[in-house]
Structure 1
Amino acid sequence: MGNWIVQKVKSLEIFSFIRRGKSTAYRSDPNHPENRSPDESTTTTNIEQIPTPKSVLMPTTTDSSVTNPTVETTNSQIEVTVTPSNNCSDFYLACRNNKIEEVKNSLEKIERQQIDRVEPNGSTTLHAASYHGHAEIVELLLEAGADRTIRNKYDNLPFDEAKNDEIKNLFFRIPTSSRLVSDTGATEWQLIDDDDILEKAVEERQIIKSLYDSISIATMFERIEKNYIGKSLAHFDRIEHIKRFFRRAIEEKDPVWIIKAYTAETDFYKVFNKEMAGGANKYQHERRYIIALLSHHPKLDEFSYIGMSYRVMQMSDDDLRKYQDGCSLMTKSLLSSSIEEKLAALFLYRQELARKESGETDRLKSDGTKIKLWVMCTYEIKHRRTALYIENSSQYVMESEILIMPYTVFKVKKIEPVKRPELSDEHFTNIELEECDQYLNI
């Protein structure tokens, strides 16, 4: 299995790289900021005159029975904040020129916003290090919390500018992350009979819509940052990165910063979803404000997604038997999925490979069968603002994430075991879920 799964991981990683390969044509452009001397800096005026390229990453589906997935997008001008100086910073030059010790020393002294500074040539430190293939510099910047979602003058993210696959691999989330691979459905779903689950979904959605309509956007942002981030999460891992995102959210009144914070690999998304699923009372209003902004803020209308998405989880046979064709379930937390089934599978295989390489063995029942089996969930999303297509605002762009809102009701259409010889499971189960219509009365 070992060699087979290594090959599978590599082939799917290549698929993800090709899918994001829109920047290739720009690398040879003589006017590319990383091909020019830093003293030939592009002025702010010149940057603003460069048109935004049209997106080439359109959602796809292989199911001909489903209406083509849609993402509402706009072709707005690139929004970059460029320093008024025409000189590139010393820190940027150190990153561009692979001066590792200088970068290490600077990271101990500079403020976080200097890492994300858009230079007069329209580039950032992370763009430069990625473009020139400086792997250690890229690692240092990512560890320091560099924003992976800033675009350069070609509308490319740092991942898109990466010189080679080695650099691109540095942008992946750690294989053991539970972000797109879950070890249980308990945190994600609530399985109830149809009437109860629909009533619960309607009730929660009405509460959230009422909060959004009655409280100002500025107040919601301020209370989230002050109470939930500043108090509830104050002692969690890498919280300073999250605070930085929410400070920008307050300044700009922009919910995209919530997406950036949620997709970062910190304790924020883990704690938030655990509390949402468990119904924690403390800071409940602040968590509802987050959902209200993600569900109703007009800035995110262009992120609205209709179509198919995919997520992998592990479930025991006993848990799996609770799910039958035709049963209904409701999401209890924000649910991360991918627009591409191959990418959802990639994160499964990466986790399996990491587990095998660490020497971890499968937990078995007394009869020798595995306690938990892999399940691929396919979600058919049918309504606006049920889910957001956040690929280009995510800190992990290669995940091609579709973020499904809490209190969304799905009906199980089909449960089907599929043989996957590359995995050590007896079978791999596919669960097809279709969003219900009846609860959408607000």
Structure 2
Amino acid sequence: MVKAMKKTAKSILGHNEILEEKILESNNFSPMKNSQLAVELKYEADHHHYIDVQEIEYIEFYVGNAYQAMNFFVNVLGFKAVAYAGLETGVKDRVSYVIECEGVRLILTSSLIYDSPISEHVKRHGDSIIDIAFIVDNINNSLTKAVQSQARPIQEPTVLCYGQDQAIKATIAGYGHLVHSLVQRHPSKKTFLPNYQPIQCPVLPSQNHIVAIDHLAFCVEQGNLESWNYFYHQVFGFHESHQEAIATQYSAMNSKVLRNDNGKIKFTITEPAAGNCQSQITEFLTFNYGYGVQHLAFLSNNICQTVRFLCSNGIEFLQIPATYYNQLEKRLGHAIPEIKTFQELNILVDKDQTGYLMQAFTKPIQSRPTFFLEIIERKGAEGFGSGNIKALFEAVESEQRRRGNLKT
């Protein structure tokens, strides 16, 4: 098995051009054909054969202008900039900002070279997520298990040194252009990663009420849902917790929700299904030029305050039809004192066996009709708003109609 290579990283997060070229070469992991799936994925994964990921360490975006993106997340979404890497820190090919909010850590990276893999990524996909990094206990064991599970390693375990501090990082291919970095660090170490310098900012009370990452939603092309479902079962031991097949008058989709053993990492994977018109999933795939992360869901401890804060800073949310709220109390089976507030703020409400949840969805936060944000507050519910999906689809179809993309 590949041994850790002890060296000081020469660029952000230990990336190198070999890694980035491999990301661009192909679809990385080549999913098995559906015909190869001999049985439905209802098995319990063997702890000895998959990577035991604990939680999300960070999510990295490749963007056209990291400085502008950082200011958007800080001044509009209420994050805090905590670290920087670039020419001033010895990095010659890119600029990165680390931003945080409670339990959420994001990296925003842009290229200093016009024809670099980062630049090519942004040219093809726009500002979008490239890396969902996981915390692991043992990097070498994790990479060994990844290879045994048919995952493709694209960066060997590398010791990243910063003074007396160090972390070990490896990377494997996900689907499409997405990768998953595996990070092993001492839990008491607070330094992010090498070649970053802290950004000194005044500590202000958070106004956005965002406390964690709830889940990420991926879009894949029709016919690939089971293949990628299999990949995350096989490599990470994720198990299926929910599935949906939704159809409206115009479009349709199939989706599955996967989560890791401790429930801290949750993915929804969605594919378009046959319908009368182009679905929102197809629209995403068209303008994203392939697979990708459609939205990132932030967990809030007060969704009304979060939505008000974001709206006050210019974020637009999907407009939910009044008919949804006219039927809401009947569907849930009880009165909702806050129903007028929810309607005013376009907040959806749903319940399951364990409680209820509230969720709101922004319009795309960039020029392409691709990536958007979800705000979700959970009151015991473990689901993903099954009762809201049709209403959400209809709201998105209204926006598609305005863009001229709701067509056969």
Category of TM-score, reference length = shorter chain = under 0.3
Q: What TM-score do the two structures reach when normalised by structure 2?
A: 0.27
Which of the two has greater helix per residue? 1
Which of the two has greater strand per residue? 2
Q: Which of the pair has the greater relative contact order for Cα pairs under 8 Å at 6+ separation?
A: 1
Q: Which has the larger radius of gyration?
A: 1
Q: What TM-score do the two structures reach when normalised by structure 1?
A: 0.26
